[in-house]
Amino acid sequence: MNLAACLAAAEKRTLLVDIDPQANATSGLGVERSAAPGAYELLMGEARIADVVRPTATPGLDLVPAGERLIGGEVELATTPRREMRLREALGEGVEAYDYILIDCPPSLGLLTVNALAAAHSVLIPLQCEYYALEGLARIMDAVRLCRLKLNPGLKLEGIVLTMYDARVNLTEQVEQEVRRHFPRDVFRTAIPRNIRLSEASSYGKPVILYDIRSVGAESYLRLAKEMIDGVTQGTR
């Protein structure tokens, strides 16, 4: 959500597609979770992309919301023809006007996330600076390789973003060293710190650059957006 807002602030026409049933990106942009039609209708072929896109308070940023019906989407997709390719096919038309399309995934490797991997050009992995996150990273990389093999040969790793970063904590430094050692070309220089303004902004239904652009969190996301636009990381794993 915050990265999408910062890309839009850099005058890049941006679309955020929320396919996480928790709908945090949707509510974080001030859109009701009950909003319909949205990602569910798009995945099920009940609506086209033009029917579900709506503007946000951030100029240049549009949203496909995750409505309440998406909660059962994982189960319904299981019996749907070409179930892994529904999002890719839905995004195949009507999105030419956008410079960036970001797909916000659930925190699991189910059919919704597989749809995102099959549709995407690249994968951006936010990595919390904790030990168990490293184990999760290995599973995500396995999923990316499998998706590349079976569904999306052109899928690449856009980069890894360290989040919840706290330089005062030894574990943060250890996690950073480990990740940069294994992925020397794929970790963004910018890390997203622990910052109360980031949490506050979401509770007010705003991206952090609209809530407090001078905050450390906002400055970090603006730097991350610049890195992405400049193509600093060249991940191909």
Could you check whether the bond before residue 37 is cis, i.e. omega within 30 degrees of 0?
A: yes
Q: Tell me: the pLDDT tens digits for 130-159? A: 888 888 898 899 999 999 999 999 999 999
Q: Give the integer Cα–Cα distance in Å for 53 and 17.
A: 9
> Which comes out higher in pLDDT, residue 162 or 108?
162
DSSP state of 152: -
To the nearest whole percent, how much of the chain has pLDDT over 70? 97
At 167, list the tokens.
């330089």
Q: Where are the domains of the chain?
A: 2-230
pLDDT of residue 223: 97
Q: Give the integer Cα–Cα distance in Å for 16 and 40.
A: 14
pLDDT of residue 132: 85
Give CATH superfamily name and number for 2-230.
P-loop containing nucleotide triphosphate hydrolases (3.40.50.300)
Q: Are 33 and 68 in contact (CB under 8 A)?
A: yes
pLDDT of residue 124: 97
Nearest to 189 by CA among 159, 218, 157, 219: 159
Q: What is the mean pLDDT of residues 113-134?
A: 93
Q: Are 9 and 225 in contact (CB under 8 A)?
A: yes
Nearest to 99 by CA among 150, 140, 60, 66: 60
Q: Tell me: the pLDDT tens digits for 38-85? A: 999 999 999 999 999 999 999 999 999 998 899 888 899 988 889 999
